[in-house]
Amino acid sequence: MDCDPHRMTLAQRRHRLGSTLLAADPQRTTSAPPPGRRRRCATLLLAGALVLAASSVHAAGDVNAGRAKALMCQACHGVDGMSKVPDAPNIAGQAEPYLVVQLQAFKSGARKSEAMSVVASTLSEKEIDDLAAYFAAIEIKVVRIPGG
């Protein structure tokens, strides 16, 4: 059998792996991976599934409902999400999950802002999702880069 793993067929690699496992543990009669390896693989798969699930925890909001609700944001953030006052950030084009987390933080008091705490405290979870969907859906275009 060729020892170069790049030139080996899949069957040869499996046979080689099985032989290696059997040689490492004379009590083994099969070429199944050892329990520790199976446990690590299962743990990694579970962790990956949890990460994917966590990234899609909140339901996507309704962009049109968010646009209607965004009228209350226009004094500071503008209906276009571009700041109208120095203390308010531009929120157009921000990632939807980021906007949801920030609005929830203002609502719970975990993040402090006199104006935002007053506004966010009145929002329902659906309204938060809708606003986040609306502001995230606004496309930002860089027209000119200074010095370029």
Mean pLDDT score of the chain, rounded to an integer? Answer: 80
Residue 70 and residue 105 in one domain: yes
> Rounded to an integer, what distance in angstroms lies between the CA atom of residue 98 and that of residue 48?
21
Residue 23 and residue 44 in one domain: yes
Tally the residues of the chain: 148
User: What single letter denotes the amino acid at residue 91?
Assistant: I
pLDDT single digits (tens) 48-90: 555 454 444 556 899 999 999 999 999 999 989 999 999 999 9
| Whether the Cβ atoms of residue 21 and residue 31 lie closer than 8 Å to each other | yes
Query: What pLDDT is stored for residue 79 in this prediction?
Result: 87
* DSSP label of 61: P
Residue 49 and residue 75 in one domain: no
| Per-state percent for the chain, helix, strand, coil, to nearest 5 | 55, 0, 45
> Rounded to an integer, what distance in angstroms lies between the CA atom of residue 9 and that of residue 7?
7
Angle at 131 between CA 127 and CA 132, to 5 degrees: 115
Domain assignment of residue 17, given as a range: 10-55
pLDDT single digits (tens) 16-39: 655 555 555 555 555 555 666 667
Residue 69 and residue 44 in one domain: no
Q: What is the CATH number of the domain that holds 128?
A: 1.10.760.10
Residue 40 lies in a domain: yes
